[in-house]
Structure 1
Amino acid sequence: MTCSTSVFLNSLWAMLAGHRFDLDDQRLVDLLDIVHKCFRMIDPSGGLLNQMPPLRFIAPRHSGYTNLMTHLNRIWNFLRETIDDHRKSFNADNMRDLIDLFLREMETSKCQNNSSFEDLQLVSLCLDLFMAGSETTSNTLGFAVLYMLLYPQVQRRVQDELDRCVGTDRQPLSRTDAADKQHLRYLEAVLMEIQRHATIAPSGIPHKALKNTVLMGHTIPKGTTVLVSMWSLHRDVQHWGDPEVFRPERFISGNGNIKQDDWFMPFGIGKRRCIGETLAKASLFLFFSTLLHNFSILPSSESPLPSLEGYDGVTLSPKPFSAKLIPRK
């Protein structure tokens, strides 16, 4: 799903840096490759390096530190060059993007001793949005295509709903997006079930306890790295009943409305939940609905049906598979 990754990365880059890459731009191809490799190199807890940091000095190559830093430095250098270009053309009266806004805040707060608005923070912010936003959303869309390939009856029901609610004279969400989304309830339930069943961030994002805490009788010392098993929440038998079954109807209430579930939390929970949740939901809905509105996803005659087993890493990603996109009449 390289194409989907480039679409989401381009959307983020337009907000960060004010422009998009051409799809044949070699820089975009290289960046996509770096992002994917970085997410596959380590597990959610940070891997061996996170457990034994001195290994980066003792055995940098064998511990994976050298390889990881090689790829990260390529992204850091690219981001620093982009920020330097912005600084050269910066105009406080003409804000073009997030980088400009951050640079303006750096100017207004440079006399404050405790200000966190500095170059390193800007690079880190861009890196977080750049990597996490593009990889997670594109992986979810990749799994969405895979699920539609494996569950054609669900695909047909989504398309029937699109034909009924959107029609054939326009694209989904092109004019009255709020009205479209309100009526495309089964499509929304399908996306929710894909996020539950696939759980691309099975251990969430690592957090650190800021003070000694007691949670359900368990003592969590200050400084402890905390991981929440989203996979366990989304696959709990007592709560879901049949968690292994792909069944979008579980998110639709008896009166046909979307049913919210406290155990469904693909973006985390609380004030530390994913900062890109709103953008991710809107992007997934737009791309998924437009894709199924215009194409039917069918198995490739040259390849057997793929499995749902994905690549491990900070996030789960679908393994390469083949499918045919047939234009709908």
Structure 2
Amino acid sequence: MGKHSMQAQIAAEAGDLVTRLRDKSNGGSTPLKLHDAFDVCVLNSLWAMLAGERFALDDRRMMELIDIVHVSFRVIDTCGGLLNQMPFLRFIAPGWSGYTRLLSVLNRLWGFLRETIDEHRKTLSPGCTRDFIDSYLEEMEVRKNETDSTFNDMQLVSLCLDLFMAGSETTSSTLGFAVLYMLHHPEVQRRVHDELDGVVGRSNQPTLQHRPRLCYVESVIMEVQRHANIAPLGIAHRALKDTRVMGHFVPEGATVIVSIWSVHMDRKHWGDPEVFRPERFLDGKGGIVHDNWFMPFGFGKRRCLGEILGKSGLFLFFSTLLHNFSISVPPGHRLPSLEGSDGLALSPRPFYASLVPRT
């Protein structure tokens, strides 16, 4: 993560996205459904890192994967739903409790990942590491005689599942919300265009090298993450021992869920948290303000392991889209709602927008 190869992969997917949207938009005359427009490019950038390949746009396996990820994020909530509170229900009423459906979804994804790992094992060439799966398999071989080694196929499937599912769904949903906010705040979109034109130039495309000078673009992405709160309750953790937090007793083994939403929407700290205002992340000189109360990737040593990848993807996909298109509400369409669909993470509801190519 953070290497040049990763950046090049994301940039290539962003370029393909622009080409695909330009072809479909017919110069802006054809409204496009954009709430899930980023699914393919985000999935491909992650899959290239994990498995060393990308899917064709019409690949049946890719469409199946996208469907699996979407469904899995809808059949369970952050707290784990009813099954987490009363796990014995999976034995008594597996269908009614949702266990049957959840297991069906996960089995499809587990099967796909195991098939991919088996293919890598057959074609693995020592000293020629192609991707994350290759790297893990090589480490398994090195540690195969260690009795306490935790490197095994089950762990590899679990790691791929975490990186793949969490990374694709949250990044795609954040980008979908970013487009929504540009529809609601055309003045912000105009300022994004102006900064991109001044720093990148019309004849070039945004890169991560431009990022330090695109502070307003960066602040817009940060404000989308804060205001939309894609993961409002973060991920559940478990207390390893009895402890006290601000006078409250937390027993060993307790499930701990942090309300990121309450931090991002705290009125005492932000002043006007309900207002979409990217300038709150800019200082008097136009530089980025790094606020400890901004934590879309979590906080501390258990924060999201894909943070670097996530930030790079959000910046390159968003800046490339805005550099190439002006986004507006199609004639005859209402301004879409900012309210999201609930699940393990929030996602934008279906909406249409017009994309007019910028010249």
Deviations 1:155-214 (CA, angstroms, capped at 9, x unpaired) = 0010011111111111011xxx33x11111111010010000001000001111111111
- Which secondary structure does the structure 2 equivalent of 1:297 belong to? strand
One-letter identity of the residue aligned with 2:341: Y
1:144 aligned residue: 178
1:164 aligned residue: 198
Contact 2:170–2:345 (Cα < 8 Å) also in 1 = yes
One-letter identity of the residue aligned with 2:330: S
1:184 aligned residue: 214
Instruction: Tell me, in whole angstroms, the C-alpha distance in 1 between the residues paired with 2:214 and 2:89.
Output: 52
Contact 2:36–2:176 (Cα < 8 Å) also in 1 = no
TM-score (norm 2): 0.89
| Match of residue 242, structure 1, among 247, 261, 272 | 272
After superposition, the Cα gap between the structure-2 partners of 1:302 and 1:69, relative to the gap in structure 1 and judged at 3 Å, is farther
Which deviates the most, 231-240 or 87-96? 87-96
One-letter identity of the residue aligned with 1:255: K
Instruction: Tell me, in whole angstroms, the C-alpha distance in 1 between the residues paired with 2:352 and 2:338.
Output: 13
Larger relative contact order (C-alpha < 8 A, sep ≥ 6)?
A: 2
One-letter identity of the residue aligned with 1:257: G
1:20 aligned residue: 54
Instruction: Tell me, in whole angstroms, the C-alpha distance in 2 between the residues paired with 1:183 and 1:14.
Output: 28
| Match of residue 86, structure 2, among 37, 52, 64 | 52
Deviations 1:36-67 (CA, angstroms, capped at 9, x unpaired) = 11101111010000010000010000000001
One-letter identity of the residue aligned with 2:78: P
Give the superposition deviation at 1:79: 0.5
Instruction: Tell me, in whole angstroms, the C-alpha distance in 1 between the residues paired with 2:330 and 2:71.
Output: 27
2:9 aligned residue: none
1:80 aligned residue: 114
- Which secondary structure does the structure 2 equivalent of 1:2 belong to? coil
One-letter identity of the residue aligned with 2:305: I
| Match of residue 144, structure 2, among 98, 105, 110 | 110
Instruction: Tell me, in whole angstroms, the C-alpha distance in 2 between the residues paired with 1:130 and 1:233.
Output: 27
Instruction: Tell me, in whole angstroms, the C-alpha distance in 1 between the residues paired with 2:354 and 2:306.
Output: 31
Contact 2:77–2:344 (Cα < 8 Å) also in 1 = yes
Deviations 1:116-136 (CA, angstroms, capped at 9, x unpaired) = 100100010111111000000
Contact 2:240–2:252 (Cα < 8 Å) also in 1 = yes
> Do residues 263 (structure 1) and 297 (structure 2) align?
no
2:162 aligned residue: 128
| Match of residue 272, structure 1, among 258, 279, 302 | 302
Unaligned runs of 5+ in 1: none
**Aligned pair count?**
325
Unaligned runs of 5+ in 2: 1-34
- Which secondary structure does the structure 2 equivalent of 1:146 belong to? helix
Deviations 1:289-315 (CA, angstroms, capped at 9, x unpaired) = 110100000101242111110000110
Give the superposition deviation at 1:247: 0.4
One-letter identity of the residue aligned with 1:84: D
> Do residues 43 (structure 1) and 73 (structure 2) align?
no
1:210 aligned residue: 240
Give the superposition deviation at 1:78: 0.5
2:348 aligned residue: 318
1:96 aligned residue: 130
One-letter identity of the residue aligned with 2:167: G
Instruction: Tell me, in whole angstroms, the C-alpha distance in 2 between the residues paired with 1:114 and 1:62.
Output: 40
One-letter identity of the residue aligned with 1:300: P
One-letter identity of the residue aligned with 1:270: G
Contact 2:36–2:173 (Cα < 8 Å) also in 1 = no
Q: Matched residues, percent identical?
A: 64
One-letter identity of the residue aligned with 1:39: F
- Which secondary structure does the structure 2 equivalent of 1:271 belong to? helix
1:225 aligned residue: 255
Give the superposition deviation at 1:264: 0.6
Deviations 1:263-310 (CA, angstroms, capped at 9, x unpaired) = 110001111000010011011111111101000001012421111100
One-letter identity of the residue aligned with 1:105: E
One-letter identity of the residue aligned with 2:119: D
2:27 aligned residue: none
One-letter identity of the residue aligned with 2:196: L
Give the superposition deviation at 1:2: 3.0
Deviations 1:10-39 (CA, angstroms, capped at 9, x unpaired) = 111111111001111011111101101110
